[in-house]
Amino acid sequence: MHAFDDIPPRLFEPHVTPSILATVPDCFRNILLDSASKLKKKQNSILISSNSLANRFILERWGIRPSQRKRYRNLFTNVRKRCRAIFQHYLMRGRVEWETMKSRHVFGVFKFDEIRGNLILGFVLMSPEAQWKLRSR
């Protein structure tokens, strides 16, 4: 019998490596594209918080729900810090853009709110004709 045999495996926290954290922007792009495809004609902006990005990343990666945050405190803390850093980067740039084989995606970025470290950004989908209107910072 080992010392850890009586501890359920779910109590062990996943180890967060820099290579795992490097995939957070991919999750962010998926969220942004999903939201943009569901965007109604009346709405012109998408609001995403850094904590919601972290929660979705953790759920997709490890299957850990936000309600389990106390049990996996270090995991949530590390991923949330990374998400805030990514959001700060995009906010300073003033835009998010990437190219796929089919198209080019450009979003303008603005700060909507910041509550206790949870950074909420607004993203505006830009058409190729209107991209020149985005100011670079």
Domain ranges of the chain: 17-133
What is the pLDDT at residue 134? 55
What is the band of 133 on the pLDDT scale with cuts at 50, 70, 90?
low
pLDDT tens-digit readout, 51-110: 999 999 999 999 999 999 999 999 999 999 999 999 999 999 999 998 888 888 889 999
Asked if 54 and 76 touch (Cβ cutoff 8 Å), the reply is yes
Residue 116 region by backbone torsions, left for phi larger than 0, else alpha for psi between -120 and 50, else beta? left
Sequence-distant (6+) residues with CB within 8 A of 96 are 32, 90, 105, 106, 107, 109, 123
| pTM score, whole prediction | 0.83
Amino acid (one-letter) located at 74:
N
**Quick check: 135 pLDDT over 80?**
no
pLDDT of residue 100: 85
Q: Could you tell me what percent of the chain has a pLDDT over 70?
A: 83
C-alpha 104/C-alpha 86 separation (Å) is: 20
Tokens read off for 129:
């004709």
Contact 56, 28 (CB under 8 A): no
What confidence score (pLDDT) does residue 44 get?
A: 81
Per residue in 5-27, pLDDT tens?
A: 555 555 678 989 999 999 999 99
